[in-house]
Amino acid sequence: MSENDKYRIKQLSIFSENRPNRLGAVAKVLKEGKINILGFSIAEGAGYGVIRVLVDNPVTARDLLTKEGFVVKFTEVLAIQMQDTPGGLFDLTDQMKDINIEYGYGYRSPPYAVLIVRVEDIEKGIESLLAGGLRLLDNVNFH
């Protein structure tokens, strides 16, 4: 266990075919499991999509969704705190020049904002973000 492992946030990635109200079906399972959604995004592929969700209780959420027949994977992402002011994202990207981001999405969490990213090499990503003076949310803090 590395000291930095606490910054690895468990994101749920859910495969979704191109059929009406698949998002609704996912949301229903989470509601019934009393799972709180902290952030999410939908990515569109060729006739299917991936729903990516951050929740307060990822293991329970995965088990519930799997039981309902969804294809669910954990993916490790990073949650970077940024200033909720103009230029907040720029200040952050300035420290991330050498990091290869696969995808990202953000949400507002006053007084801050949070950027969620999947990076190519997560260990290296954590190190260089911390070295750059950025604040990462840890999984205790986050979930």
Partner 1 sequence: MSYWNPVEVMPVPELKALQLKQLKMLVYKLYTFSPFYRQKMKDAGVTPEDIQELDDVRKLPFMTKKDLRDGYPDKLFLASPREVVRYHASSGTTGKPTIVGYTQNDIESWSESVARGLVSAGVGTDDVLQVCYTYGLFSGGLGLHYGAEKVGAAVVPASTGNTERQIDLVRDLNVTVIASTPSYLLHMGEVAERMGVDIRKDTKLRLGILGAEPWSDKMRDRIYERLGIEAIDIYGTSELSGPLWCECSQQNGIHVWADITLIEVLDPNTGEPVPPGEKGELVVTMLLKEALPIVRYRTGDVTTMSEEVCACGRTHPRIGRIQGRVDDMIIVRGINVFPSQVEHSLMTNPEVGNEFQIVVDRQGALDTMMVKVELRPEAFGDRLFELDAIKARITHKLRDALNVGVTLEIVEPGSLPRFEGKAKRVVDKRSF
Q: Are 38 and 55 in contact (CB under 8 A)?
A: yes
Rg (CA), the chain: 16
For the record, the structure tokens of 139 come out as: 């999984």
Q: Are 74 and 62 in contact (CB under 8 A)?
A: yes
Whole-angstrom distance, CA of residue 24 vs CA of residue 51: 11
Residues that bind partner 1 (CB under 8 A): 11, 13, 15-19, 43-48, 50, 52, 69-71, 73, 75, 102, 118
Q: How far is the CB of 122 from partner 1 (least distance, A)?
A: 13
Q: How far is the CB of 87 from partner 1 (least distance, A)?
A: 30
Q: How far is the CB of 46 from partner 1 (least distance, A)?
A: 5
Name which of 35 and 62 has its Cβ closer to partner 1.
62
Cα 135–chain centre separation: 16
Q: How far is the CB of 62 from partner 1 (least distance, A)?
A: 12
Strand, coil or helix: what is 44? strand
Name which of 45 and 87 has its Cβ closer to partner 1.
45
Name which of 52 and 134 has its Cβ closer to partner 1.
52
Name which of 8 and 16 has its Cβ closer to partner 1.
16
Distances (CA, A) of 77 to 84, 122, 138: 21, 8, 11
Name which of 15 and 107 has its Cβ closer to partner 1.
15
Distances (CA, A) of 32 to 63, 66, 73: 13, 14, 20
Q: How far is the CB of 139 from partner 1 (least distance, A)?
A: 18
